[in-house]
A and B are shown apart, each in its own frame.
Chain A
Amino acid sequence: MGFSLIAQDLKQVLRTWRRQPVTASATLVVLSASLALIGFMLVTSLNMKRILATWGEKVHLSVYLEDDVSPNVISALQAKLKSMPDVRDVEMISKKQAADFFREQMASYAPDLLDDSEFATPFPASLKVHLAEGINQDGSVERMDAMAKSIGGLDGVEDVSYGQSWVRSYSSFFQTVSAGGAVIGLILLMGSLFVIGNSVRASINQRRDEIEILELVGASREAIRRPYLIEGLIIGFIAALIALTINLGLFVWEVGLMKSSFAFARMATEIRYLNPLEAIGFVAVATMIGGMASLFTVRSLNDGWAAARRVRGDA
């Protein structure tokens, strides 16, 4: 396709918009709104996964040691744990560290505790087992149960805890959100494609006369369809930029809201907007959707006999 042809097609697209600004604007508004909705779902779903993954990273196993366990047994136990495939790291928490952590946590409720030098630690020493990615992010309760049981039988281990009920709730929430997000996303995507298709169809139907006339004076299919394809691509591109801008505005507002009203959840630092690559991908897909919707619609009208279809049905 030569530059002069593209320039001619662009000229035609601009001319059409100048002559039919309402039709062009309506298509752009519908497409922008649909893409904004899809974009919102995309950003929300990505951030939801990120937040859940962050929460998942906090899941760990606490392996409480017997009171009189020797350093050799602890070392052997640490080595054994580190060799397990689902274990990323093992951290020793002494009785004193456990007590210090407890005092720190309780300081706001019982300030005297911080100054009590005679506070005797009621906590056993433990090994904090950090889990490998995967087992903590998808909240595999069964695997963690099995792991806890196998660790519980090792020499020098008093008890194993990993906040079973929290992990179960997290796991179930994570799965519900993932499945629900996928279903809602799919429904929204299908709905948006339907709306986009109809909007483009309405816009092209209004120019059915033009397609008929071009056919009747002998324009080739490519020559007729090319400007519509280019118009669809341009509208898709502009709509994607508008949708990204709307979503960026929403995102900034959400972050502000989280900082002011939901500061306790500390989520504002965990969420982010689409990165440049994701944004480029979004624009590329939207541009393609605009072009394809336009091309499919004009193809259904432009078979060479568009004018004949207006006449009564053939017997």
Chain B
Amino acid sequence: MISFSHVYKTYRGNEGRASHALRDVSLEIQKGEFVFLTGPSGAGKTTLFRLMSAFDRPSSGVASVAGYEIAQLTAATLPHFRRRIGVVFQDFKLLRDRTVFENVALPLDIRGDTGSSLQRRVMDGLDGVGLAHKADEFPESLSGGEQQRVAIARALIHKPGLLIADEPTGNLDPELSAEIMNLFERANAQGTTVFVATHDHAMVKSRAKRVLKIHAGQMGEGLWVSP
């Protein structure tokens, strides 16, 4: 499902010096897996997340996700790739001028879904994150945790084959974090491959999942954690 081979992501600093956010990253994630990516701040978790979600392209190396090579995505194929995955961004990326319902419905809207089935699926999705009663509100009126839950509902609404999340529980209390993880596990149980970048060690430890570690842009040894 996800295959990175000798991937680099390099940025040019203000003084023109190149710095590697990712260096020689290689990894494999099979279809149906649930994988955590951990590492300290600035280790490269978000950069790796960005490449996986085609938010950005690698500077070199081969990054393949869901059958698409990220660097080769064109303006025409990019939307198709993004419709096949679900992404939870650290800063939520909700449309401020649309209601909670409309934000969650966005992936279905884009696919051309309409009518009562869309209504039902969106309300079910919102129910899953405990926000059905806020369907008509705008994101600005929600707390950070609520906005994050809306973003999660949006990422799962179209039943993607791959769910990629960057710090999805960063703004949530432990109880709600556990609920969100349960949602992810439920999606995983239904066949969705899940990749979660997080620095929440307590949560990672509480789940028996494969964990990838990243440090200074380089991948460490992978391991399995038992609760």
Contact = CB atoms under 8 A, between A and B. Distances in A.
Contacts of A245: none
A217 B154 contact: yes
Interface in B1-50: 10-13, 18-19, 50
Interface string A1-26: 00010000000000110111000000
Interface string B54-81: 0111010000000000000111001111
B186 interface: no
Interface in A139-186: none
A213 B56 CA distance: 13
A215 B110 CA distance: 10
B50 A311 contact: yes
Interface string B198-210: 0000000000000
A303 B76 CA distance: 10
A217 B110 contact: yes
Contact of A216 (B75, B82, B114): B82
B97 A16 contact: yes
A107 interface: no
Contacts of A212: 93
Q: Which one of A19, A20, A217, A312 has the greatest number of beta carbons of chain B within 10 Å?
A: A217
A110 interface: no
Interface string B90-128: 000111111000000011001000100000000000000
Contacts of B134: none
**Interface residue range, chain B:** 20 to 34
Interface stretch (A187-195, A219-227, A262-270): A219-227
**Interface residue range, chain A:** 20 to 34
B213 interface: no
A210 interface: yes
B159 interface: no
Q: Which one of A4, A221, A304, A313 has the greatest number of beta carbons of chain B within 10 Å?
A: A304
A308 B79 contact: no
Contacts of A15: 97-98
A112 to B, nearest CB: 84
B10 A303 contact: no
B87 interface: yes
B94 to A, nearest CB: 7
Contact of A313 (B12, B50, B96, B110): B12
Interface string A114-156: 0000000000000000000000000000000000000000000
Contacts of A20: 97
Given A307-B55, A312-B12, A218 B80 contact: yes
A213 B12 contact: no
A304 B96 CA distance: 20
B31 to A, nearest CB: 20
B21 to A, nearest CB: 9
Given A308-B57, A314-B11, A220 B97 contact: no
B83 interface: yes
B109 to A, nearest CB: 8
A307 B50 CA distance: 10
B58 to A, nearest CB: 10
B18 A304 contact: no
A55 B98 CA distance: 62
Contacts of A305: 56-57, 78
Nearest to B12: A315
Nearest to A212: B93
Contacts of A315: 10-12, 18-19, 59
Q: Which one of A218, A305, A311, A314 has the greatest number of beta carbons of chain B within 10 Å?
A: A218
B12 A217 contact: no
Q: Which one of A15, A16, A212, A303 has the greatest number of beta carbons of chain B within 10 Å?
A: A15
A314 B55 contact: no
A45 to B, nearest CB: 42
A18 B96 CA distance: 12
A312 B13 contact: yes
A4 B106 CA distance: 16
Contact of A304 (B50, B53, B75, B87): B75
Contacts of A220: 79, 110
B97 A303 contact: no
Contacts of B53: 216
Closest 6 CB pairs of A and B: A218-B82, A218-B83, A315-B10, A19-B97, A308-B56, A315-B18
Interface of B: 10-13, 18-19, 50, 53, 55-57, 59, 73-75, 78-83, 87, 89, 93-98, 106-107, 110, 114, 154
Given A218-B110, A311-B50, 10 more contacts: A15-B98, A18-B97, A209-B95, A217-B83, A219-B106, A305-B78, A311-B11, A311-B56, A315-B19, A315-B59
